[in-house]
Amino acid sequence: MSDWRTEMEDALKAFVSVASLAGDPISLREISAEYESAPHRPPARLPAGKMAVYGFWGDGTWLKIGKVGPNSNARYTSQHYLADSARSTLAGSLRNDPRMRGVVDFDPAVPGVWIKASTHRVNILLPVHRSRRLLGLLEAFLHVRLRPRYEES
């Protein structure tokens, strides 16, 4: 079984090199990672002055990795847990995954219950003064490196 925290920490260390190669260097001191083990609580809000990349890990793999700018509080705090959210959310992806029909504790009417109980969450915070391109690069790098189940391959 993967140690999801170590996997993310190693990826963030590698990302520092990628950002430097891309001409937008960042230090690990500028990156703040918050790890929430299952069961977890969704964050109450995106901290002021921050933008984020976040990820959900469960069922032995990364499930979803996304990003939010400083004005995307709902996406960061609640949309991934709600049954009536977009298909691009974790809840939407789980509801449309035939594999989830066999998961005893999963109810597609309330996917957030399973998400909170069964997944770990990481919030990677960057200062808002950093470029949105750097935020996008971090998300893309984590997609390639960690290969989340519900991201395009």
The pTM of the full predicted model, rounded to 2 decimals, is 0.94
Query: Counting Cβ atoms within 10 Å, is residue 109 exposed (0-12), middle (13-18) or buried (19+)?
Result: exposed
93 contacts 63 by C-beta, under 8 angstroms: yes
**Residue 84 pLDDT:** 87
**Cβ neighbours of residue 56 closer than 8 Å, sequence gap 6 or more:** 62, 63, 64, 65, 80, 90, 115, 119, 120, 121
Decide if pLDDT at 109 tops 70.
yes
For CA atoms 106, 109, 115, 117, give the dihedral sign: negative
Domain ranges in the chain are: 4-146
Q: Between 132-146 and 4-21, two packed helices, what is the crossing angle to 10 degrees?
A: 130
Give tens-digit pLDDT for 2-52. 699 999 999 999 999 999 999 999 999 999 999 999 999 999 999 999 999
Look up residue 46 and give its DSSP letter: P
